Amino acid sequence: MKTCFATVIYKQAREFLKDFVASVDSQTDKDFDLVLINDNFSREELQTVGVYDKDFKVVNLAPSLKGTTSLIDLESFQYSIAEMRIQLLELTKRLGYELVIIGDVDDTFAPNRVEEIKKTAELDKESVFFYNKLIKENGEDVFKSLPDAVYDINQIAQENFLGMSTTAIRVDKLSYEFIDSLREGESNVFDWYLYSRIVLDMGRGKLVSSTSTIYRIYDNNEVGTTRDLEKEKQVKTTHYWNLAKRYPMFNKLSDKIEKVDTSKIELSKEYQGYWWSDIKI
């Protein structure tokens, strides 16, 4: 199975790039490529952070891997966060990869992440995506529990635990038409839209419980772990509106979320840690 580990690199997370690369290079399974997609580094800045050498050639950042390190430079396009993620899917598919293991550049990963995901993908030929645990830097689980599989949109309709940094996708199962249609879901929480669309249109996801992504929480992190009801309402309003473009059943949720008075909602004591899970409709 042709596999790559892919990420988007950007200036705001330059301080984390070294740790990210070290985490990828430390994987127990070495048979994969590393694909970096450049968002906003200039050529000279890519030299400064060690991605380019003095001749502007890509440095082999993970020398222990059997595969190669490649760079796709999209700096001149000034894409949005969502568009960069769509480009990641489309370009890795065009490069002939079957399985794309994804990680945000500001995160690190358990050393067995690639190995465990590949093992599961080899055994489970039907699932379109695979997801693993998310833990904080102190080892605490972000999510108290995770389902063994995601096969029904109701599992992620009013809350989310799927992000690109904890998932791998069989891009060979995604059509170019499907990937192109994802542009309808432009938002700062595009990942929720992406996996909702995959579950609705393409197929299920499978939990890989034996590995994890280490989640770094800092100011530029879009989600964080705070429970901000007003922000949740704004996120859900956009999310349901985007989904309603294709699936009329989301019109009701879209209408209802707009009428929610967040000042009257009490935070649940049975909180599982899922993103956007406090406002239930």
Identify the pLDDT of residue 246. 96
Report the C-alpha gap between 218 and 195 in whole angstroms.
Answer: 24
The alpha carbon of 229 is separated from its chain's Cα centroid by a whole number of angstroms, namely 23
Task: Look at residue 240 and tell me if it is in a domain.
Answer: no
How does pLDDT run across 37-52, given as a tens digit for each residue? Answer: 999 999 999 999 999 9
Q: Is 281 contained in some domain?
A: no
Structural domain contains residue 21 = yes
Q: Residue 123: inside a domain, yes or no?
A: yes
Centre a 10 Å sphere on the Cβ of residue 226 and count the other Cβ atoms it contains: 8
- 164 and 191 in contact (C-beta within 8 Å)? yes
Does residue 269 form part of some domain? no
- Domain contains 238: no
Residue 154 falls inside a structural domain: yes
Q: Which CATH number covers residue 75? A: 3.90.550.10
Residues 239-275 as b/e (b if ≥16 CB within 10 A, e otherwise) read: bbbbbbeeeeebeebbeebeebeeeeeeeeeeeebbb
Output the CA–CA distances (angstroms, integers) from residue 139 to 47, 134, 162, 207, in the order listed: 34, 9, 19, 19
Q: What residue type is assigned to position 178 of the chain?
A: F
Instruction: For residue range 206-250, list pLDDT tens digits in order.
Output: 999 999 999 987 545 545 557 899 999 999 999 999 999 999 999
d(CA 253, CA 178): 24
- State how many domains the chain has: 1
- Ranges of residues in the chain whose predicted pLDDT is under 50: 219, 222
| SS3 of residue 161 by DSSP | coil
Give the pLDDT of residue 16: 96
d(CA 9, CA 241): 29
Print the domain residue range for 47.
3-215
Helix spans in 105-262 (H)? 113-123, 176-181, 190-201, 229-244, 250-258
At residue 164, the pLDDT reads 94
Model pTM?
0.95
> Does residue 241 lie in a domain region?
no
